[in-house]
Structure 1
Amino acid sequence: MFKPDKIYYEPAVLGYELGRVLRNKYRDLPWQPIESHNNIEELRNNPNSAFALMKRHIILGVRKTHNYVPNHKSSDFLVPYTSSGCSAACLYCYLVCNYNKCSYLRLFVNREQMLGKLIKTANDSGRELTFEIGSNSDLVLENGLTGNLPWTIEQFGKNERGFITFPTKFADTEPLLGLNHRGRTVVRMSVNPQEIITRVEFGTAPLKERIAAINNLCEAGYRCGLLIAPVVLLENWREQYTGLLDTLQAELSEKLKNSMFIEIILMTYSYIHRAINNEAFPNAVELYDKDLMTGRGRGKYCYKNDVRADAEQFFTQEIEHRFGVGKILYIS
């Protein structure tokens, strides 16, 4: 469980119920007022080597941006919700591209406003919409601090239209098991080989705990999927991912294997990641591989087309062999 060491807060958060709850919960920690959660100068000016230390802070604010972004993968819209950033330190984290070294955990206390817009948008639509509420953070991790996730699931479950969905790399899902979700929440467990979790996904749950958690969520009636993401093509990637798929075949429940869908996303890396990781984690594995990667956009790297094609063929064949045709929702 993440234990913060310091709170930075916009004074306006104390005007909200959740802000006051957090003020009492973490009253023994240092609290430092700030003008804006988007621009904390003393943190922004820290060296890259301080990246992991900044991950121990919590920043509290009021979310002012509520624009939904169309999505065409596992949801209709990406929704800015109750948190952004994360206390974990996955070496490839795409949030680093957005927030640079300031990808620490930010919590937003105006949850009633955010959920209200979500429900209104769902009800105003002429069809069932799915809303991705976990694209900016890990809501299972956040829940250990705020309790927002059971509140969200039960409140949205009262609605007669729409679905919410989120991914997670954490296994602290017991608070979700007894909820009256009414089938309107979709949970996607992110998985990777244990070696990659250990060497790359710092501060996240082990693979076996993730598998146990998603089995339990499926048994509790949630619609569940797996997110093999990002696929990291280290030197022995075929052996690693063959082992992962063998483990999933052996340890996922039959109920989950029969009903699940699978998303596969190959890793995108960047110049920013390399700069931060080289200073903050100098002994960590190097994820950039000039032989396998090519430039994509400003300062980003992705796997070359032939490398991607090889990986896509591997996953398609191996997943169909173990779990049948039609399980893969997409590969990107």
Structure 2
Amino acid sequence: MNFDAVYYEPGALDYQLGLLLQNKYADLPWIQIENHNRIPEMTAAPNQDFPRLKNHLIVGIRKTHRYVPNHKVSDWLVPYTSSGCKAMCLYCYLVCNYNKCAYLRLFVNREQMLDKVLKKDAQAPVPQTFEIGSNSDLLLENTITDNLPYTIERFSHEGRGNLTFPTKFDTVDPLLNLDHKGKTIFRMSVNPQEIIQRIELGTSPLQARIRALNAMAEAGYPVGLLIAPVILLPEWKRMYGELIDQLADELSVKVTQNGFIEIILMTYSFVQNAINTDAFPNAIQLLDRESMTGRGRGKYSYRNDIRAEIESFLRERLSRQLKTMPILYIS
């Protein structure tokens, strides 16, 4: 990945990863900041600068380690080694939560963060599953930091439960030969290729994602398929029908016999809409006031009757073509 500048907390250079990043990006300007959460020149930037802000890399120390209970694939959502992303998915919920702060932030204190995960796992009455990729795409981050091999192998030897993370990228080669002991659940996010090209900007193509998921299953990882977010563009039934056709044709037996499915419908917000309107004026309009309704705090989601239609369509098609893969939830 290419960046045009690095913004860093001075204390980050006291860590091994901070020094490695300093050496890796030695040819870029390094701009000192007080706190990775507050960079005034970025948060004050106009909306149309959003793509430019994505070219900045932020290096800091994660100081907050609050775990959020979760009852889907994992028991806990865990803040981990990065936040934000270099890609520009037009629906990204980090834009909603952090306004323009969805640029990539790397946190160099990975040992401290994994120590806490292992401690919580050890103290729990039963093994726990920790979602470590809810704030970033760790597979994309790994191309810079090599954090995943460290994390997966250390947890495989010291942890009782599981780690899990989703991705929209196909760069899985560094993970295939790791000693993971089946303790890392790999989940690939998919959408119709038309949506990937026009809305999930800067992410891997669908066919490459399918190949990566097959490779991870072949390497012995537990795997899941995340159809998310489901977006109701015109001809959505055709697009998602063709997606399921392609998945049925190209997923390996190891995926279809052992994997599971998650489905998440798109939630959108006035913040995302404002930024996209200014930064991507020619992009697809995702806010559809006819099919969406307010869900509090400036967020919009599909009306209940439309959600029921989507769920019925997807369940029927998946039950026919990927019937061996259980649907864990639709949300």
Matching residue of 2:135: 136
Matching residue of 1:72: 71
Q: What's the offset of the Cα at 1:160?
A: 4.6
Q: What's the offset of the Cα at 1:206?
A: 0.2
Matching residue of 1:86: 85
Contact 2:84–2:94 at 8 Å: present in 1 too? yes
Instruction: Give the Cα separation in 2 of the matches to 1:298 and 1:22.
Output: 37
Matching residue of 1:299: 298
Are residues 223 and 325 of structure 1, via their aligned partners in 2, closer, same or farther at CA, if it must alter by over 3 Å?
closer
- Corresponding residue SS for 2:248: helix
Q: What's the offset of the Cα at 1:159?
A: 2.0
Matching residue of 1:41: 40
Instruction: Give the Cα separation in 2 of the matches to 1:159 and 1:214.
Output: 26
Question: What is the one-letter code of the residue matched to 1:97?
Answer: C
Instruction: Give the Cα separation in 1 of the matches to 2:159 and 2:208.
Output: 33
- Corresponding residue SS for 2:134: coil
Stretches of structure 2 that go unaligned for 5 or more consecutive residues are: none
Matches within 5 A, 1:1-332: 2-324=1-323, 327-332=326-331
Instruction: Give the Cα separation in 2 of the matches to 1:104 and 1:304.
Output: 31
Contact 2:187–2:225 at 8 Å: present in 1 too? yes
- Corresponding residue SS for 1:101: coil
Instruction: Give the Cα separation in 2 of the matches to 1:320 and 1:21.
Output: 48
Question: What is the one-letter code of the residue matched to 1:102?
Answer: C
Instruction: Give the Cα separation in 1 of the matches to 2:89 and 2:260.
Output: 24
> Once the two structures are superposed, what CA deviation does each residue of 1:161-213 show, in whole Å capped at 9, x if it has no partner?
01000000000110000000001000000000000000100000000000000
Instruction: Give the Cα separation in 2 of the matches to 1:88 and 1:324.
Output: 32
- Corresponding residue SS for 1:234: coil
Question: What is the one-letter code of the residue matched to 2:251?
Answer: L
Are residues 235 and 157 of structure 1, via their aligned partners in 2, closer, same or farther at CA, if it must alter by over 3 Å?
same
> Once the two structures are superposed, what CA deviation does each residue of 1:212-234 show, in whole Å capped at 9, x if it has no partner?
00000000000000000000011
Backbone CA RMSD of aligned residues: 0.8
Q: What's the offset of the Cα at 1:111?
A: 0.4
Question: What is the one-letter code of the residue matched to 1:328?
Answer: I
Stretches of structure 1 that go unaligned for 5 or more consecutive residues are: none
Instruction: Give the Cα separation in 1 of the matches to 2:186 and 2:160.
Output: 17
Q: What's the offset of the Cα at 1:15?
A: 0.4
Instruction: Give the Cα separation in 2 of the matches to 1:164 and 1:48.
Output: 36
- The TM-score with structure 1 as length reference comes to 0.99
- Corresponding residue SS for 1:264: strand
- Corresponding residue SS for 2:158: coil
Contact 2:261–2:326 at 8 Å: present in 1 too? yes
Contact 2:258–2:325 at 8 Å: present in 1 too? no
Instruction: Give the Cα separation in 1 of the matches to 2:251 and 2:132.
Output: 25
> Once the two structures are superposed, what CA deviation does each residue of 1:92-148 show, in whole Å capped at 9, x if it has no partner?
001111111121000000000000001111111110110000000000000011110
Q: What's the offset of the Cα at 1:325?
A: 6.0
Q: What's the offset of the Cα at 1:326?
A: 5.9
Question: What is the one-letter code of the residue matched to 1:247?
Answer: Q
- The TM-score with structure 2 as length reference comes to 0.99
Instruction: Give the Cα separation in 2 of the matches to 1:302 and 1:158.
Output: 42
Question: What is the one-letter code of the residue matched to 1:113?
Answer: Q
> Once the two structures are superposed, what CA deviation does each residue of 1:293-316 show, in whole Å capped at 9, x if it has no partner?
000011110000000000000111
Question: What is the one-letter code of the residue matched to 1:276?
Answer: I
Are residues 160 and 100 of structure 1, via their aligned partners in 2, closer, same or farther at CA, if it must alter by over 3 Å?
closer
> Once the two structures are superposed, what CA deviation does each residue of 1:262-297 show, in whole Å capped at 9, x if it has no partner?
000000001001100000000000001111000001
Instruction: Give the Cα separation in 2 of the matches to 1:45 and 1:241.
Output: 39
Question: What is the one-letter code of the residue matched to 1:194?
Answer: Q
- Corresponding residue SS for 1:158: helix
Stretches (4+) displaced over 3 A: none
Instruction: Give the Cα separation in 1 of the matches to 2:3 and 2:146.
Output: 16
Instruction: Give the Cα separation in 1 of the matches to 2:227 and 2:242.
Output: 13
Q: What's the offset of the Cα at 1:235?
A: 1.0
Instruction: Give the Cα separation in 1 of the matches to 2:77 and 2:203.
Output: 23
